[in-house]
Amino acid sequence: MKVSAIQMDVAFNDPDKNRDRISKLIEEAVESSKPGTIVLPEMWNVSFFPDNMSATADEEGHDTQSFLSKLARKYQINIVGGSVAVKKDGGYYNTSYSFDREGTLVHAYDKVHLFSPADEHTVFESGNKLGIFELDGVTIGVATCYDLRFVEWIRMMALKEVEILFVPAAWPHPRSEVWQALLKARAIENQFFVVGVNSVGKTDQLSFCGHSTIYDPLGQVLAGSGEDELILTADLDLSQLRTVRDDIGVFRDRRPDLYK
Ligand SMILES: NC(=O)CCC(=O)C(=O)O
């Protein structure tokens, strides 16, 4: 599966501007790299996160779904749609929508671990389900930003046969090294591919650290970035996942009977 990750400078509280930018970046990614799957960062409609959610959160996710579905169909690509601020069920959610090449919504994932240091839990409701689905016959997992820190959560995805973990993020300085270390660790310990796609740029409160990176199941970098807006692409050879697991049989050798 050829994957392009869009590391983007998300405009604060301006969904229209962000949709325009994403249209251009997806067109550019398709023309330059011809990926099968494109992934976007966390909260790309409004950034992380404005205090007047009622003005800009996407009502039931309708605008986002119609926008991403059209792009997926137009370019015949899968889109793992990062995440957006959504108003639904009487609350706000940090929701990730994913689409197949026909533009069909295949999965919606509500961020489970809300980032309490930024009071995300006081504004948003949390989800309660794993983000797992299939694209082109490949088992995909999605975990949003802070979810990455929760090793048990990510391990559950590996145990459910996830082959590629996508991590859309709005991860700020001064924790760039933490972001990179956790992405790499999750790839090595779970022996799957990890695609971390972060934001860049600033809000009044935060400066996002970029360094979106695609890791193979050994934790080797297939594509990396700095702190500029850019598209990074890698071709993931999924047979590597089997080879790595045959060589070092972590899933054969683990002792869940003792992990209580
Ligand atoms: N958007 C987030 O969830 C931020 C997470 C973060 O900065 C951290 O875990 O550190």
Counted residue by residue, the chain has a size of 260
Q: Which are the catalytic amino acids? A: 42, 111, 145
Ligand 1 atom nearest the C-alpha of 42 is 1
Ligand 1 centroid to residue 63 C-alpha, Å:
26
Ligand 1 centroid to residue 170 C-alpha, Å:
7
Q: Percentage of residues in the chain with pLDDT exceeding 70? A: 100
Q: Give the tens place of pLDDT for each residue, 186-232.
A: 999 999 999 999 999 999 999 999 999 999 999 999 999 999 999 99
The finding on whether 175 has its CB within 6 A of some atom of ligand 1 is yes
Tokens of 169: 């993020």
Residue by residue, pLDDT tens for the chain (260 residues) are: 999 999 999 999 999 999 999 999 999 999 999 999 999 999 999 999 988 899 999 999 999 999 999 999 999 999 999 999 999 999 999 999 999 999 999 999 999 999 999 999 999 999 999 999 999 999 999 999 999 999 999 999 999 999 999 999 999 999 999 999 999 999 999 999 999 999 999 999 999 999 999 999 999 999 999 999 999 999 999 999 999 999 999 999 999 999 99
Separation of CA 170 from chain center = 10
The finding on whether 173 has its CB within 6 A of some atom of ligand 1 is no
The finding on whether 44 has its CB within 6 A of some atom of ligand 1 is no
Question: Phi/psi at 151 (nearest 5 deg)?
Answer: -60, -35
pTM metric for this prediction:
0.98
Ligand 1 atom nearest the C-alpha of 111 is 3
Tokens of 105: 């919504």
Q: Which are the contacts of 180, defined by CB distance < 8 A and separation ≥ 6?
A: 196, 211, 213
Ligand 1 centroid to residue 191 C-alpha, Å:
23
The finding on whether 48 has its CB within 6 A of some atom of ligand 1 is yes
Secondary structure, 3-state, 152-213: HHHHHHHHCCCCEEEEECCCECCCHHHHHHHHHHHHHHHCCEEEEECEEEECCCCEEECCCE
Q: Which of 199, 211, 228 lies closest to 49 in space, CA to CA?
A: 199
| Protein residue with least CA distance to atom 5, ligand 1 | 146
